[in-house]
Amino acid sequence: MFKGVYKMKFNIGDKVVLKKNLHNKVYREYISHPDSTTQEIRTLSFLKKYRKFFGKIGIVTELYNGIYGVYFDTSKVTALGSWLKSVKPIKKIKDTPKETKPEYKITIGSDPELSFSVGNTQNNLLFPAKWFINTSTSTQLGCDGCADLAELRPPYGNNPLEHTENIRKILRRLNNKVELLNKGNDLLRYFPADTLNSLGERNVITLAGNGFLKSTGGHIHFNIPLGDENKKFLLLLDIMSIFLNSMEVREDSVRRRAGNYGQLSAYETKSYGFEYRTLASWLYSQNNARNILCLSYVLAYEWMNNKDFCEQIIALFLKEFPNYGIAFQSANSLYFIREKINLFEIFKKKVRKMIKYPEYKPYIENLFSFQKLGKKFKEHEDLLSQWDFSIDEKKATDFYYFNEKDYFMKEIKEMVTNEKTEGENIFIYGINQKKDYDLATNNDYIYNLLTHYSMKFSKNYKITKMRNFDFDSIGFGYKLRAVNRNEIVTILEQIRGNLEREYIKKPFISDNTDYETKMAQTDTERDIESRGIEVLSTPEGESPIPRLMREYLETTLATTDTRGSW
């Protein structure tokens, strides 16, 4: 029955469980090891109390880090059984339910960076973000430290899928900006024509990863206080970083870390918890960003709710890969792949046993398969093309809205190029012919554009500011509407072109008001919109016209003259 050498372990603080063993009515304290058939005794007090006896039949030793045990020969088993039978009091302890700790809920945030380039990976130029992105540090898209790079500051999420969606919404708006920038010959405002011609490609592309032009990071935020009790969590995140590093472009990875960016265990404490700063920007694609955030979230949840399991992973990692820091610095993934032990496969196996893994299994397994197939992140390709913005097309609204009750407006509407937009909506109306004005607006920027146009082309229009509406508007006098509708079309085309260019540098407005909570949020205050109106979402089935415009059309316009004057 008893063959070989049995190992009995003792661990401080664990509960005693007595079960029948060896002889009838004899009980021994033990608990089965989860990974083997080895028997464990988990009470240090039991060992200390009977240390003298155990010393006679075996060798008492500290196995590792507070785990004590005794090795004994099988010839002593009978003596051990007889002795245990004589020990008093030895009585069976009824199984009691374990005390369950309250769940620690994790929130996740981030502020990943990206860069812009004109050309391709063989022949390219850095396109500084400050040239067309607002450089504010308090907007959802801005610059931080280096004005050559853009930084996203999405609202945090209560789970990784929610946070990925917050990121996608900002990138959707960035995509609109880039499309406007690439439209026509706008790049000639920044580069000489011969320089652009030498590149072969004139489009601006958006890049993530370690950055082959400028170092870009993918900082992740956790609502975990990083005191002494949680510092080891950085090591668990480092294992993830080493795993992800095996899928990065090696040259870019080495260059970034040579510049002291992306060091292991790099962090910064925050009011909500801390920011992990080792990762390269993971915005390569919507799938990769989502998968990496899911993996990070699962690790964070496991650490705060099952710390012992995580410490086992860390202990094995430190024991088997003592030179992990040097290998990571040189992006030497082969150091972690050996004939008998493969860190990446062990890491995957452990993650699959974590509490939250089943909830995010499809996304994590997608990432695991990506790594197993030896694929690399697309660090040198346009990331915006790898995100899905199609589901938001229905939210886009017309640039101009016309008072179609006006006698002339239907014809003018058909003559004007009226592209969809997500950022600006301007209402076009007619000025009562009794009022001696040619043009009117309630927007200072549009007022200046109209004034400049009138002076430049010697039109001598009478222009005024009329605060009739709570949303941007342009009014046209009766003579223009009745006699010179082509002139109205020209003016509207001029304004649209100027506003599109101006909109490129307009700050993003935040949709999230809960910025005071001490969770894994970004570090910025609520964005303040500098100009224009906010396009409000509408309930399903309602008109896409902005709410204030719709309310006005439903009330005031219903009582106006059909010739459209007020």
pLDDT digits (tens, 9 = 90+) for 148-180: 899 999 999 999 999 999 999 999 989 988 888
Q: What are the strands, taking DSSP E only, across 161-223?
A: 204-207, 220-222
Residue 376 amino acid letter? K
Task: State the sign of the Cα–Cα–Cα–Cα dihedral 218, 224, 226, 230.
Answer: negative
Residue-level pLDDT at 550: 55
β-pair type (204-207, 420-421): unpaired
| Amino acid found at 402 | F
Q: Beta-carbon neighbour count of residue 286 at 10 Å?
A: 18
**The predicted structure's pLDDT at residue 324:** 94
Of 293, 17, 269, residue with least CA distance to 159: 293
DSSP codes of every residue in 444-510: HHHHHHHHHHHHHTT----EEE----SS-EEEE-HHHHHH-HHHHHHHHHHHHHHHHHHHTTPPPPP
Residue 485 · residue 412 · CB < 8 Å: yes
Handedness of CA 289, 294, 295, 300 (dihedral sign): positive
Q: How far is CA 118 from CA 113, 149, 452, in A?
A: 17, 14, 33
Which of 274, 168, 149 lies closest to 208 in space, CA to CA?
149
Degrees (nearest 5) of the Cα angle 71, 61, 59? Answer: 40
Q: Are residues 216 and 281 in contact, defined by beta-carbon separation less than 8 angstroms?
A: yes
Q: What per-residue confidence (pLDDT) applies to 553?
A: 52
C-alpha to C-alpha distance for 536 and 534, rounded to whole angstroms: 6
Residues in CB range of 201: below 8 A, 6 or more apart: 118, 119, 120
The count of residues in the chain is 566
> Exposure pattern of 418-449 as b/e (b: 16+ CB <10 Å)?
beebebbbbbbbbbeeeeebbbbbbbeebbeb
Residue 213 pLDDT:
72
Running DSSP on this structure, what letter comes out for residue 565?
A: B
- Chain region(s) in the chain for CATH 3.30.590: 108-386
Report residue 401 as tokens: 């809205």
- With a cut of 50, list the residues of the chain below it in pLDDT: 1-44, 54-60, 63-64, 68, 70-74, 76-77, 87-95, 509-545, 557-566
Q: Which run of H or of E encompasses 63?
A: strand 58-64
Max intra-chain CA distance, the chain: 116
Closest CA to 557 of 403, 400, 426: 403
Q: Which CATH class name applies to 108-386?
A: alpha beta
End-to-end CA separation in angstroms for the chain: 102
CB 425 within 8 A of CB 472: yes
Q: Which residue shows structure tokens 């592209």?
A: 419
Query: According to the model, what pLDDT value does residue 393 have?
Result: 53
pLDDT for the residue numbered 38: 37
pLDDT at 159: 95
- Average pLDDT score over the chain: 74
